[in-house]
Structure 1
Amino acid sequence: MTKTTGAEPLHTRRPSRQGSVEQRSYRPWPLALAALILIVLAIPGALLVAPGFRGPDAPAPAPTAPAWQQAPATLSAPQVLAPLQPAAPVPGQAAVTAQVDPVLKADGGGTFTGMVQDALTGQVLFDRGGAQSRVPASNLKLLTAVAALRTLGPDHRFTTKVVQGPAPGQVVLVGGGDVLLGAAESQPEQVMGHAGLATLAAATVHTLQASGATGEIKVLVDDSLFTGPALNPNWQSGDVEAGEIAPLYPLALNSARFDPAVTTGPRPQDSAMAAAQEFAARLRTAGAGAGLAVAAAVDRSPGASQANAALLAAADSATVAEQVNLMLQVSDNYLAETMGRMAAVATGRPGSNDGATAALAAEVPAAGISPDAMNLVDVCGLAMGNQVSARQFAEAVRAITTGTDTRLRAALDGFPVGGLTGTLDTRYGDATTSGGAGLVRAKTGTLNTVLALSGYVVDADGRLLVFSFLGNGLTPGAAGNKEALDRAATALAGCGCR
């Protein structure tokens, strides 16, 4: 008899072959699939909670600034124009003429003369009637600049003074040649308004207070520094009426303008009295708190102030160099005539129109400029009776740029720059002249039938050239005439004319 246990003997377990296959081949796959799904679902959750375990992310590194924004390790060398080299090639006359001659053509009537020279040697590179005397218009201011710098000096200043009057209670405003006075406080950084009447009045009140002055103050004006006619008889009445010029006095506000920002239209016909009236008004305001009253009326001094009259206050103008540069930049006729008369006074001549033209006539040859056939009837170029040649203007520019009298270098900043400054700021903008923009530096001249351009330029080879082009008898308003001048100067700027 066989012994048994609670379990079935091994030899009696015989599961069917089909059941055995289902257990070994099918059941593991659902488990694997479920595990895979759990893993896939767990990944996003893990990513969400992981930062809480590992802390905040490290900050991203700051982007590197581009080189041009970074502090320099060393200072770079200053970038300046290199000095002109005397070894730079001098253009050939035939080549320069071939460039300039075709473009220097009048639009309608009239003709152009011209002269181009090498600045260092004086060698003539272009000559079309360069010795012919012509009406120069405002190019004449170049000669006025030469005379003023030679006789007065670049650093000279004109002084407007207030002195004790001839009778008690009187003060005298004495004109010393500053016609760029401002009405308000002095502006030391400016040329126009460098000396201000408000500042001068305040200084006068301070001195009067210190001396114990009381009661009413009467203002007189002394404009005796200038003599002769205040208006040049050679100026056309239409130009005076249009405000191109005004009667000349040795003191004025805003170069004899009502408003320094308005440079056309009517002007004060008595700039000395206008300045004195403004001074009296400023003195009245400044003296109100000091117990000083100022009479409403302003009179002229019965004569020149005494040299020993007690000085109450004084104000100095901008330098002659600064004023010359302003005169050239904006072509200020009033300032030019003043400079001529002050040059006359500096050389012992009367402060008149005749004295001014005589001073120019004397200083021109002294500066190395030929005076042959030159005729001067004013010093601003407004009169049609002036006669100067292109050669003489080229020589004047040579004297300023490379001459032996270094005082004349002070005028260089006054030359307008093509397309950028002064009376050339709106020119050199088209395709035929843009090559001269920023390179041509020249004084302009404009009358009804006259156009002129005299200045200097560095050519493509680095050679300094001086030039003068004068047009007379031109058709008024013809646009092509200014273009002809600008094209000629542009041709010189781009010239590698060997």
Structure 2
Amino acid sequence: MVVPELRPWRAARPHVVRIADAVRPRLARAAAAAKPRVARLARARKPQVARVTRPKTWQYAAGAATAGLALAAGVVTATGPWDSSGQRTAERDRAAALGRAGGTDHGRAPGAPAQPRPAPSAGPVLTGLGGISTVKSAPDGKALAQALTPLLKDPALGTRPAASVVDVTTGKRLYGTDPDAALTPASTTKIATAVAALSAMGADHRLTTRAALEPDTKEVVLVGGGDPTLTAREAAGGWASLRVLADKTAAALAQRGVREVTLSYDTTLYAGTEMHPIGVNPNLAPLSPLMADEGRTNDSTSGPADRVEDPAADAAHRFGDLLKSRGIKATAPGPSKATTRAKTLAAVSSPPLSALVERMLTDSDNDIAEALARQTALASGDRADFAGAGRAISARLRKLGLPLDGSSFKDGSGLDRADRLTPALLTALLTKAADPAHPELRPALTGLPVAGFTGTLTSRYTDGAAGAVRAKTGTLTGVNTLAGTVVDQDGRLLAFAFMANNTPNPSEAQKALDRAATTLSNCGCR
């Protein structure tokens, strides 16, 4: 696979400067370490212009620069999509929604910020592609083995960790130890969920929640569309607002002269049980196509929290209260199903799927992950339950030509310990997301947490490859995984996956995985 190099959009420059100024204190310590990489870039040839586009609203670009640490020295480029102000739209949406972080913490250190902070320009995720380096070849496999194998033998990684490292430019595997071993992946499963959902629905797809009026009965049905980011809070932060839906619904009813309604709610979009196999758990709500604020019982926006027993009933009650405050008297809501004769009064839509995927990956949001798995099933014509979602994810990945031997998808979040993925599949997913033939998959890369800056990697790599590593974490009891991308010292973009099961100490296992990723970042390996 040959990936053309890309230049950043000129409109990005003012935004990049502002971001660089904001994070300069954070990156001061890293500047010295970046100097050799910057010097090599200064000698590199000027890139040729190429563009990769896809239909509709999203365009992607990546500049010829180093990732992460090189940003500290001022070599800053940007990746799209961009709006007219020069700000990356997905980054803008996330920044506007910092109060809606959601998800779980994956070992976040005590006292560390619960909300993600934008990285400097979010780092050019496709840096290292298209021959921007004077180095024509990928790292030597033997040299990589000498660097990585001792680290992966760390007892903190259990009895038999597995790994894969791939050159994203060519798709060639550079290093592997049991790369086809099917292990419990934990939350790295979300990479597969992201790629499957984007493949099934496209990056611009939105999830809609609507209120419909049954003719002649004055029954208003709140119809769940599977949007887990629907919020009833005053500050919607760019997400679909139950308050806005109530505004629109009340206005539509008033136009019809209706001031009193029977309120009900429709959750028939999903099938099967609402309870995840792990049972009641503070890391996710019961699965429902209708929920507000992820069913949280407090004002929290991230990390574990108690959830309501029935998210749909809770959302409908809150909607009824909002209608009453707007002059529409509503009965206590009960479950129902909107008929084909029901007329839509009002609707609100989620941000595009690209933004949902980025939030899911950055924050390891389990509620979004399970919703996107079911949406993938619906888009594939399968049953919207756990089994149907697993079949749909597998089918979508198989259609993309990805290696599925040994894999098994029991859920979309990775909370189910019966899930099985291989390092080979994880690196193949990341490589496919970088393929210019599939720009719709790019959010599976741009959403990865940035070491030392965003999401579940905010408090990690503070003394290592901060800004240079982008990776999805995975953490369950006895399970620690890490999969993502890194630009090595020669400017090559590498995809990696490290998987460890039966780990005796989660903190030590995390450190061991981080050392392996940092070694890749620092590796010339020739």
Q: Give the structure-2-normalised TM-score.
A: 0.73
Aligned match of 1:281: 321
Q: Deviations over 1:407-466 (max 9, x none)?
A: 101222210011111101111124xxx1x1110000000000100000001111000100
Aligned match of 2:242: 197
Q: Residue 173 of structure 1: CA displacement?
A: 0.3
Distance 2:455 2:233 in 1: 25
Identity of aligned residues (%): 36
Aligned match of 1:17: none
Q: Deviations over 1:216-249 (max 9, x none)?
A: 32210001000111123xx233xx24x1233210
* Equivalent position to 1:236, from 275, 278, 282: 278
Report if the CA contact (8 A) 2:215-2:341 is conserved.
no
* Equivalent position to 1:482, from 504, 510, 518: 510
Distance 2:76 2:480 in 1: 37
Alignment of structure 1 residues 161-172 onto 2, 5 Å: 161-165=210-214, 168-172=217-221
Distance 2:344 2:75 in 1: 48
Distance 1:182 1:277 in 2: 13
Distance 2:439 2:283 in 1: 32
Q: 1:125 to 1:336 in 2, by over 3 A?
A: same
Distance 1:366 1:406 in 2: 16
Q: Deviations over 1:32-89 (max 9, x none)?
A: xxxxxxxxxxxxxxxxxxxxxxxxxxxxxxxxxxxxxxxxxxxxx9952676343633
Report if the CA contact (8 A) 1:418-1:437 is conserved.
yes
Q: Does 1:267 align with 2:307?
A: yes
What is the count of residue pairs matched by the alignment?
A: 400
Report if the CA contact (8 A) 2:484-2:497 is conserved.
yes
Q: Does 1:370 align with 2:394?
A: no
Moved more, 218-227 or 83-92: 83-92
Report if the CA contact (8 A) 1:85-1:462 is conserved.
no
Q: Residue 273 of structure 1: CA displacement?
A: 0.9
* Equivalent position to 1:225, from 265, 269, 276: 269
Q: 1:458 to 1:196 in 2, by over 3 A?
A: same
Aligned match of 1:449: 478
Q: Residue 374 of structure 1: CA displacement?
A: 1.2
Q: Does 1:422 align with 2:455?
A: yes
Q: Does 1:175 align with 2:215?
A: no
Q: Residue 257 of structure 1: CA displacement?
A: 2.1
Q: Residue 186 of structure 1: CA displacement?
A: 7.0
Report if the CA contact (8 A) 2:148-2:516 is conserved.
yes
Secondary structure of 2:155's aligned partner: coil
Secondary structure of 2:220's aligned partner: strand
Q: Deviations over 1:100-134 (max 9, x none)?
A: 11222232743311010111112221111111110
Secondary structure of 1:381's aligned partner: coil
Q: Give the structure-1-normalised TM-score.
A: 0.77
Q: 1:351 to 1:139 in 2, by over 3 A?
A: same
Structure 2 gaps of 5+ residues are: 1-73, 78-123
Distance 1:134 1:299 in 2: 43
Q: 1:372 to 1:418 in 2, by over 3 A?
A: same
Report if the CA contact (8 A) 1:186-1:198 is conserved.
no
Moved more, 350-359 or 455-464: 350-359
Aligned match of 1:300: 335
Q: 1:370 to 1:176 in 2, by over 3 A?
A: same
Secondary structure of 1:103's aligned partner: helix
Q: Does 1:133 align with 2:165?
A: no
Q: Does 1:90 align with 2:151?
A: no
Q: Which amino acid aligns with 2:291?
A: A
Aligned match of 1:37: none
Query: Considering only CA atoms, is the larger Rg found in Structure 1 or Structure 2?
Result: 1
Measured on the aligned residues, the alpha-carbon RMSD in Å equals 1.9
Structure 1 gaps of 5+ residues are: 1-76
Q: Which amino acid aligns with 1:205?
A: A
Distance 1:417 1:79 in 2: 15
